[in-house]
Amino acid sequence: MSGDLLTGVRVLDLSTVFMGPYAAQVLAEWGADVIKVESLRGDQVRGIGDVTGNGVGPIFVNANRGKRSVAIDLKSPETREVLRALVRGADVLLHNIRPPAAARLGLTWDELREINPGLVLCAFRGYGKDGPHADRPAYDDVIQAASGIAAAQGAAGGEPEYWRSAASDKILGLYGAAATCAALRAKEADGRGRSVEVPMFEGMASFMLLDRQGGWLIDPPSGPTGYPRTDSPHRRPYATKDGHLAVMMYADKHWTVFFDLIGRPELAEDPRFRDIGARTSHIDELYALLAEEMVTRTSAEWSEAFERADIPHGPVHDVEDLFTDPHLSATGFFQTVEQPGVGPVRLARRPVDFGEPAPPPRPAPLLGQHSREVLAEAGIPEDDVQRLLDSGALSQR
């Protein structure tokens, strides 16, 4: 058992930067043969943090590991048939090219399904095609602001702030990977390809509404938007005698045991804290109490008590701490892989367990590393491949 659930699925990844490449990387992690079709200059994130000069910086490696790379000038008329050949042999084509540019490259759904009726097209956009912003460019920061994320991060109505991560890109990348798999499953049933569009704005609006729609679920609204628990200024990793600790008490049993731990069992019957509805209404008082108590013991003392009580808790890690975390070490989460152009690198294995042994992570490609072999697989004659290389329309590393 290989654990490669998408073995036999070929994906053309024409996307760049974070969102589309992450979606395609997930598909590669699940066993798909992902061909990254790049411009002759390559995906611009190749250069971020690239200390070797070989175009394999850490973000690029993590978003594109397990893929093969073809470097080609898709704007050149002489490469148009190459693209058509690649499309004919693909199960999925994934891109984040804005609609006008996609039309110039012959990447509209009407053109693609004429070449390959069984193709699944997954197109990432900033905004849905039927709205007034359909053709606007969009990046993660813009979507974090538009979807309410930035405002929600501003404590108590303060200045809006971004998450310190390209979270919209990564979340929509996961949406795209899931939608692609759903379309492939539908194709198994009826043999038809699908056009899947993943708009960032709508995707993140939906994501935010799950726990923040609040009283605006009802029309007309019955109360404000938001979620009092996550909005509380007292919700944070808690200071202890000697550091910080994360603790998350949610169910009635968690709070009942905690009140016993601090010698105040009567609080379990306090009308403010008796059930989840009451606790949510008085969350600031409850979390303020928790903060006052946490500072009375060390992190180790609390960890021992919470472990016995089965209360969810954990350390407050820096990113660097992940590489020495005992749980991740025990599960073999990080594996050393030989990365072309860099040498040994640490890569995380796929986080999803399909009940079968997972193959080891694979490195990311150098720009154009697989141009010749991929075109040969697509049926392009060797003489034509060499002509494209000689003309500079194709690059082989």
DSSP states along 252-293: HHHHHHHHHHTT-GGGGG-TTTSSHHHHHHTHHHHHHHHHHH
Single residue among 281, 315, 349 that ends a domain in this structure: 315
Instruction: Pull the structure tokens for residue 73.
Output: 């000038």
Single residue among 285, 315, 345 that ends a domain in this structure: 315
Alpha-carbon distance 149 to 143, whole Å? 8
Query: What pLDDT score was predicted for residue 4?
Result: 79
Domain span holding position 284? 238-315
Q: Is residue 229 part of a domain?
A: no
- Specify whether 76 is located in the same domain as 129: yes
CATH number at residue 26: 3.40.50.10540
- Specify whether 42 is located in the same domain as 190: yes
Q: Is residue 339 part of a domain?
A: yes
CB atoms within 10 A of CB 369: 22
Give the closest residue to 369 by CA, choosing from 89, 55, 88, 47.
55
pLDDT mean for each 10 residues of the chain (397 residues): 79 97 97 97 97 96 98 93 97 96 95 97 96 92 96 81 96 98 97 97 97 94 93 94 96 96 97 96 96 97 97 97 97 96 96 88 97 97 96 94
- Specify whether 132 is located in the same domain as 253: no
Q: Is residue 343 part of a domain?
A: yes
- Return the amino acid letter for 51: V
Instruction: Pull the structure tokens for residue 234.
Output: 């007292």
| Tokens 């900033």 sit on residue | 126
The arrangement of strands across the sheet holding 313-314 comes to 238-239, 244-247, 313-314
Instruction: Pull the structure tokens for residue 39.
Output: 């411009």
- Specify whether 91 is located in the same domain as 134: yes
Alpha-carbon distance 350 to 181, whole Å? 17
Instruction: Pull the structure tokens for residue 154.
Output: 């501003």
- Return the amino acid letter for 266: E
State whether residue 352 is helix, strand or coil.
coil
| Tokens 């109490």 sit on residue | 289
State whether residue 298 is helix, strand or coil.
coil
Q: How many domains does the chain have?
A: 2
Cis before residue 315, ω within 30 degrees of 0?
no
- Specify whether 172 is located in the same domain as 305: no
Single residue among 284, 315, 346 that ends a domain in this structure: 315
Q: Is residue 385 part of a domain?
A: yes
CB atoms within 10 A of CB 110: 8
pTM of the model: 0.94
Query: What pLDDT score was predicted for residue 29?
Result: 95
Q: E strands, 236-393, where? A: 238-239, 244-247, 313-314, 334-339, 343-348
The pLDDT tens digits of the residues spanning 208-241 come to 999 999 999 999 999 999 999 999 989 999 999 9
- Specify whether 94 is located in the same domain as 119: yes
Give the closest residue to 180 by CA, choosing from 354, 30, 16, 18.
30
| Tokens 């929509």 sit on residue | 172
Q: Is residue 220 part of a domain?
A: no
Q: Is residue 227 part of a domain?
A: no
Q: Is residue 157 part of a domain?
A: yes
Query: What pLDDT score was predicted for residue 357?
Result: 83
CATH number at residue 304: 3.30.1540.10
Alpha-carbon distance 193 to 198, whole Å? 16
Burial, 106: exposed, middle or buried (Cβ in 10 Å; 0-12, 13-18, 19+)?
middle
Distances (CA, A) of 265 to 249, 251, 269, 311: 15, 16, 8, 16
Q: Is residue 214 part of a domain?
A: no
Task: Give 198's strand partners.
Answer: 124
Query: What pLDDT score was predicted for residue 11?
Result: 98
DSSP states along 112-164: HHHH-TTPEEEEEESS-TTSTTTT----HHHHHHHTTHHHHHSGGG-S----S
- Specify whether 308 is located in the same domain as 340: no
- Specify whether 119 is located in the same domain as 189: yes
- Specify whether 385 is located in the same domain as 340: yes
Instruction: Pull the structure tokens for residue 15.
Output: 């996307």
- Specify whether 286 is located in the same domain as 388: no
Q: What is the 3-state secondary structure (H, E, C) of 206-261?
A: HHHHHHHCHHHHCCCCCCCCCCHHHHCCCCCCEECCCCEEEECCCCHHHHHHHHHH
Alpha-carbon distance 152 to 75, whole Å? 42
Query: What pLDDT score was predicted for residue 356?
Result: 85
- Specify whether 306 is located in the same domain as 336: no
Task: Give 379's strand partners.
Answer: none
- Specify whether 25 is located in the same domain as 156: yes
Host H or E run for residue 88: helix 80-88
